[in-house]
Amino acid sequence: MDTKITIAELLAAKHQSRKVAAVSCYDYTTAKIVAQTEVQMILVGDSAAQVMLGFDSTLPAKMDFMVAITAAVRRGAPNVFLVADMPFLSYQVTVAQAVKNAGRFVVEAGAQMVKIEATGAHLDVIKAVSNAGIAVMAHIGIRPQSITKTGRFKAEAATAEMAAELVSLAEQMLNNGASSLLIEGTAAEVAEIITQRSGVPVIGCGSGPGCDGQILIAPDILGLTQGPHPKFAKSYGNLADQTIDAFDTYGKEVQSGKYPDKEHSYHMKRGELERLEELLKNKP
């Protein structure tokens, strides 16, 4: 990707009915690979707390950690549209703190947009961050940071009443300055209605094909994750098995002495070994 993707390109894609492919990834190496593909957007999600650090929820992700990995992703993918995830308690305490933390992602990590898991209680945060000149992606539907309150996640907007509430919430987000929406775990029919009624790009995560774009986490796409997966998670590779085979083969070669061999070792210049042996022989 030779030119940097901006919000203008994403808006143009929406108006021209071109889908946006987004990936959630968390490190320089993966980002550098993603940057060589047709993917237009990277979200550095707080799901890094689970995928990278092994926690059972996104809640332990801290601001300093998120800023650091977002900056790493930006270095790996300088031209992909970059969204940074505002972690738990980075925007819920005060509006001023929310603006300051959002600004850190822009100034320190090169993010072009921040994502906020939002309810009606966060409209003032959405508005303040947007008024500060920072683009906001409002995350509605299933909100992983609410796990301690809900106990478990289930598909959103399964009834007409719930759907109407979510449609209204989406409109409130837009009215308060959201530049994009992310809809997670929501009935496909409702996500499509919200997308059609929104003038901004709407990215779906397990919310059906009617959104302007889709996002999956990189480890799921690559087939690196093991164990239960969300219904919507589709793997496009099977790298877990290949990775296990690679590590296993490496372990066996080290143990058998096959690795490292001559080809994978550094060597002295011609004649220098003999000189060294003479030096050591004559050493008192």
Q: In whole angstroms, what is the distance from residue 124 CA to residue 98 CA? A: 10
The amino acid sitting at 133 is: G
Known catalytic residues are 184
Residues 197-226 have a mean pLDDT of 96
Read off the pLDDT band of 119 (50, 70, 90).
very high
The pTM assigned to this predicted structure is 0.93
Q: Which residues 6+ apart lie within 8 Å of 106 measured at CB?
A: 112, 114, 134
Residues 39-68 have a mean pLDDT of 96
Give the pLDDT of residue 154: 76
Residues 82-102 have a mean pLDDT of 97
Question: For every residue of the chain, which 3-state class applies, written as one string?
Answer: CCCCCCHHHHHHHHHCCCCEEEEECCCHHHHHHHCCCCCCEEEECCCHHHHCCCCCCCCCCCHHHHHHHHHHHHHHCCCCEEEEECCCCCCCCCHHHHHHHHHHHHHHHCCCEEEEECCHHHHHHHHHHHHCCCCEEEEEECCHHHHHHHCCCCCECCCHHHHHHHHHHHHHHHHCCCCEEEEECECHHHHHHHHHHCCCCEEEECCCCCCCEEEEEHHHHHCCCCCCCCCCCCCCCCHHHHHHHHHHHHHHHHHHCCCCCHHHCCCCCCCHHHHHHHHHHHCC
Return residue ranges of the chain for CATH 3.20.20.60. 7-237
Residues 210-221 have a mean pLDDT of 97
Q: Architecture of 7-237 per CATH?
A: Alpha-Beta Barrel (3.20)
Alpha carbon 240 to its chain centroid, in Å, reads 19
Give the pLDDT of residue 5: 97
* pLDDT digit string, tens, across residues 147-166: 666 656 678 898 999 999 99
Number of CB atoms found within 10 A of residue 78's CB: 14
Residue 225, classed as helix, strand or coil, is: coil
Residues 231-243 have a mean pLDDT of 93
Give the pLDDT of residue 82: 98
Read off the pLDDT band of 2 (50, 70, 90).
confident
Percentage of the chain modeled with pLDDT above 70: 97
